[in-house]
Amino acid sequence: MTSQDPVIKKIDQMAQRMRKKALELAFSAGNNGAHIGSGLSIIEITAVLYGGVMKVDPQNPRWADRDRFILSKGHGTLGYYTALSEAGLISFDELSSFEKNGGFLPGQPVMNMDKGIEFSSGSLGHGLSLGVGVALAGKKRGRDYKVYVLMGDGECNEGTVWEAAMAAKHYKLSNLVAIIDANDLQSDGSRQDIMAADYEAIWKGFGWNVETIDGHNTQTLYETLVKVNSTEYPRVIIAKTVKGKGISFMEGNNEWHHNRLTKNQYDAALSELST
Amino acid sequence: MMPINPTNARFWSKLGQRGTFGITMLELGRDIDDLVVLTADLCSTSGLDRFRSQFPEKFFNIGIAEQNLLGISAGLAKEGYIVFATSFANFAVMRSYEHVRLNMGYMGFNIKLVGLGSGFAMGMFGNTHYGIEDVALMRAIPGLCILSPSDCTEVMKATIAAANHNGPVYLRLTGTINNPIVNKEDYHFEIGKAISLKSGSEVTIIATGTMVYHALVAAEILESRGISTAVINMHTIKPLDTDAITTACNTSKFIVTVEEHSNIGGLGGAVAEYLCSTPSAPPQLIVGMPDTFQMAGDYQYLLEQNGLTSSQIAQKIVDYIDH
C-alpha cells in the first residue's frame, strides 16, 4: 500500500514505525498488558492526523491556533502516544515510561499540555461533549482551529455520544470532526452481536455529514481529512478498520483487546512488520 | 453590585436563592468578558431570563442533557472560559456524577456547577427532585470546593466569590422564595472561612444553607431555656474551616451540625471526620435527614417531617444534652 505521493509515503513510513513502537511498548508493559488490538486499529488514523493533517507545533504545544485532538477512546494510547512521539511532542525516552508506575503515560491518557495531551480520557462517551465545548469556544473566539475526536464504534453505545451529537449539529460546529474507529469489535465481542446499529444512518439522522471510508488506507484518510467542510454542520468519518491491524494473529481476534505479549509473540509480530 | 442593606436583603429574599443567583449573574456578565453560562433547559428556573436576553452570546442552553452539560462546560473551560452551569441539584450532581468527577475533579476545570433547589426545595416534585445526597457525593471528589450560602445575600457573595475562584466550585442553593434572611448588612465573605454569628459557651451549632437561619432561631430558644449557644455559618463545606471547629471545641461542651441533607456524608459527616481525629473533642449531634426516602410534601411540611424547624432543632439539642 505504498504511495508515490511523498506526503502519503511519509505517513506510511510513520505508521510503520508507530506500529513497531506500539508493539515494543506493549511488550514492555509486561503483565500489566495493554490495549493492543485497538491501538493497532487506529494507527493509520493518528498517523494521518499527526503526520499530515493537523496543525501542531511541538515547540509550542499550547499554540492557540493548533488543531485539537481528543482521544475519546482512551484505551487507544498505543496508537496515540506513538503519534505524539512522531510529532515531536513526546521523546523516545519518555515513551519508554509507558505503563510504568507513577509515570505520565499510563494505559489511558492523562491531560498534559506540555506533551500535547488535551484531555484525560478512558471513560467512554466523554470525548465528543468535550469536543463540542472546544469547538464552540473556537467559533466564539473566531479561531480557525479544527477539533478531531476519535471514538470507538463500541463507544457509540454510550448515550452521551448522542447528547453531544445533537448539540454539535444544533450549534453548527463545522469545525468539529468525529472519527469512528469502526473495527466492529468491542470488549465482549462483535458489535453486531452486542448492540447492532446502523451508525451511518444514525449519524445522518443527527444531521451530520457522514463519510464511510477505509480506515487503513492512508491516501483515502488523508484526502478525506484535509477536505474543506463547506457545510455548516459537523463531519463524522466512519473509518472501517481491523482490530489488531498488521499482525496476522491479532487481526480480528478479540483476545487482543487487552492482553500481554510474550517474547515469542512479540518476535513473531515484529517479524511480520519487517517483511 | 447592588449595595447590601436591609431593603435589598428583603428584595433578594423574596426572589429566593435562584432568583438572586440570576441577578448576580447579570452583574457578572457585565464585568467578566470570558464568562459563559450554560443550563440544561432550566434558564427561567435558574433566574437567568434577563441574562439570556442581555448576553445571548454568553448563554448556551444545552437541552435536557446534564452529562453533556458538564462535558461542554469542560471543553469551554479548557479554552479559558469561566463557566457557570446550572441544573437542579439532583440532576447536576447525580445524573452527571462521573462527568463532574472527571471534568471538575480529575481535570480540575474552572466550572461553577450550580445546584438549584437542593434539599427539600422542590417540594411536591418529590424525591426524584430532592437534593439530599449531593453534598456527600461532591465531598468525595478530590479538589472540589462546595459552597452552601445561608441566605440570598450570601448567594450573591458566594456567586461572586465562585466566579473569582480559579477552580471547580459546587454552589448549592437551598430554600424557596421568601428565603429567610440571615445577613442584612455587608460583611466579609471568604471561601473556606466560616462566620461566627453568635457566641455561646455550652453548645455550638454549625449550620449551612437555609438551616443557618433556623439554627439562629433555635439558639434563641435555647438561650431562653438557659443554654448558652453559639452559631457558626459554615457556608463552605469543602474546604472545611477546621480552625473554626477547633475553636468551637475549645469553647463548647456540645457540637451540633444542622443541614438540609442526609445525615450521611454531609456537613455533619465532614465535621465528624474532623472531630474523630481531634483529642478531647466534645460529642456531636448530627441534625439532618434520616436515611430514608419519604413521601412528598411542601417545603414546610418536609422540614417538619424531618425535624428541621427551629423549635424542633432546639428540642433535639435539649434532648441530646439531657441524655
**Contact call for A120 and B106, based on CB within 8 A:** yes
For chain A positions 95-114, those within 8 Å of chain B (CB to CB) are 111
**For chain A, domain boundaries:** 6-274
Level-2 CATH architecture, domain B6-174: 3-Layer(aba) Sandwich (3.40)
**Which tens digit of pLDDT belongs to each residue from B107-145?**
999 999 999 999 999 999 999 999 999 999 999 999 999
Q: Contact B319/B223 with Cβ under 8 angstroms? A: no
C-alpha distances in angstroms, B158 versus A75, B59, B191, B214?
A: 40, 21, 8, 20
Q: Is B108 on the interface with A (CB under 8 A)?
A: no
Q: Please compute the mean of the pLDDT values over residues A227-234 and round it to a whole number.
A: 96
**Which tens digit of pLDDT belongs to each residue from A197-217?**
999 999 999 999 999 999 999
Cross-chain CB nearest to B76 (options A118, A128, A137): A137
Q: Which of B73, B136, B62 lies closest to B102, judged by CA? A: B73
Query: Distance (Å) from the C-alpha of residue A64 to the closest C-alpha of chain B?
Result: 9
**Contact call for B79 and A137, based on CB within 8 A:** yes
Chain A residues whose CB is inside 8 A of the B78 CB are: 118-119, 130, 133-134, 137
pLDDT(B1) > 90: no
**Which tens digit of pLDDT belongs to each residue from A153-196?**
999 999 999 999 999 999 999 999 999 999 999 999 999 999 99
**Which tens digit of pLDDT belongs to each residue from B11-32?**
999 999 999 999 999 999 999 9
pLDDT(A3) > 90: no
Read off the DSSP letter of residue A50. Answer: I
Rounded to the nearest angstrom, the gap between the alpha carbon of residue A53 and the centroid of all alpha carbons in its chain is 13
Dist. CA B217–CA B225, nearest whole Å: 13
Buried b (16+ CB within 10 A) or exposed e, B122-147: bbeeeeebbbbbbbbbbbebeebbbb
Confidence class for position A2, pLDDT limits 50, 70, 90: low
pLDDT(B185) > 70: yes
Compute φ and ψ for A69, nearest 5 degrees.
Answer: -120, 130
Hey, is A125 helix, strand or coil?
Answer: coil
In the sheet that A176-182 helps form, which strands lie side by side, from edge to edge?
A68-71, A147-152, A176-182, A235-240, A209-214
Query: Distance (Å) from the C-alpha of residue A163 to the closest C-alpha of chain B?
Result: 6
Q: What's the grid cell of residue A149?
A: 475526536
* Helix (H) or strand (E) segment spanning residue A178: strand A176-182
Read off the DSSP letter of residue A157. Answer: G
Dist. CA B221–CA A208, nearest whole Å: 64
Dist. CA B59–CA B134, nearest whole Å: 25
Q: Please compute the mean of the pLDDT values over residues B169-176 and round it to a whole number.
A: 97
Dist. CA A129–CA A166, nearest whole Å: 10
pLDDT at B231: 98
Query: Distance (Å) from the C-alpha of residue B107 to the closest C-alpha of chain A?
Result: 7
Chain B residues whose CB is inside 8 A of the A131 CB are: 75
Read off the DSSP letter of residue A73. Answer: S
Kindly report, as residue ranges, where domains of CATH 3.40.50.970 are found in chain B: 6-174
Query: Distance (Å) from the C-alpha of residue A120 to the closest C-alpha of chain B?
Result: 7
Which CATH number is associated with domain A6-274? 3.40.50.970
Class of domain B195-322: alpha beta
pLDDT at A4: 79
Q: Which of B69, B70, B78, B109 to mutate to test the interface with A (most CBs of A within 10 A)?
A: B78
Dist. CA A100–CA A69, nearest whole Å: 24
**Contact call for A120 and B99, based on CB within 8 A:** no
Q: Say what percent of chain A tops pLDDT 90.
A: 98
| A151 strand-pairing partners | A180
**Which tens digit of pLDDT belongs to each residue from B89-101?**
999 999 999 999 9
Q: Say what percent of chain A tops pLDDT 70.
A: 99
Q: Write out chain B in H/E/C secondary structure.
A: CCCCCHHHHHHHHHHHHHHHHHHHHHHHHHHCCCEEEEECCCCCCCCCHHHHHHCHHHEEECCCCHHHHHHHHHHHHHCCCEEEEEEEHHHHHHHCHHHHHHHHHHCCCCEEEEEEEEECCCHHHCHHHCECCHHHHHHCCCCCEEECCCCHHHHHHHHHHHHHCCCCEEEEEECCCCCCCCCCCCCCCCCCCCEEEECCCCEEEEECCCHHHHHHHHHHHHHHCCCCEEEEECCEEECCCHHHHHHHHHHCCEEEEEEEEECCCCHHHHHHHHHCCCCCCCCEEEEEECCCCCCCCCHHHHHHHCCCCHHHHHHHHHHHHHC
Q: Is A129 on the interface with B (CB under 8 A)?
A: yes
Confidence class for position A61, pLDDT limits 50, 70, 90: very high
- ipTM value of the model? 0.96
**Contact call for B75 and A135, based on CB within 8 A:** yes
Chain A residues whose CB is inside 8 A of the B67 CB are: 129, 159-160, 163
**Which tens digit of pLDDT belongs to each residue from B250-307?**
999 999 999 999 999 999 999 999 999 999 899 999 999 999 999 999 999 999 999 9
Q: Is B216 on the interface with A (CB under 8 A)?
A: no
Minimum Cα–Cα distance from B98: chain A residue: A123
pLDDT(A275) > 80: no
Q: Contact B63/A166 with Cβ under 8 angstroms? A: yes
**Which tens digit of pLDDT belongs to each residue from A5-26?**
999 999 999 999 999 999 999 9
Q: Please compute the mean of the pLDDT values over residues B150-163 and round it to a whole number.
A: 98
Q: Contact A19/A40 with Cβ under 8 angstroms? A: yes
Q: Contact A30/A200 with Cβ under 8 angstroms? A: no
**Contact call for B99 and A129, based on CB within 8 A:** yes
Dist. CA A168–CA A202, nearest whole Å: 14
Q: What's the grid cell of residue B300?
A: 414546610
**Contact call for B71 and A111, based on CB within 8 A:** no
pTM of the model: 0.97
Minimum Cα–Cα distance from B109: chain A residue: A119
Dist. CA B220–CA B229, nearest whole Å: 8
Dist. CA B224–CA A59, nearest whole Å: 71
**Contact call for A134 and B79, based on CB within 8 A:** yes
Find cell 506500539 and name the residue.
Answer: A22
Cross-chain CB nearest to A130 (options B57, B60, B75): B75
Dist. CA A209–CA A232, nearest whole Å: 10
pLDDT at B96: 98
Q: What's the grid cell of residue B163?
A: 466566579
Dist. CA A128–CA A167, nearest whole Å: 10
pLDDT(A1) > 60: no
Chain B residues whose CB is inside 8 A of the A126 CB are: 71, 99, 102
Hey, is A220 helix, strand or coil?
Answer: helix
Q: Please compute the mean of the pLDDT values over residues B239-259 and round it to a whole number.
A: 97
Q: Which of A121, A130, A141 to mutate to test the interface with B (most CBs of B within 10 A)?
A: A130
pLDDT at A274: 76
pLDDT, mean over chain B? 97
Minimum Cα–Cα distance from B57: chain A residue: A140
Cross-chain CB nearest to A136 (options B63, B72, B106): B72
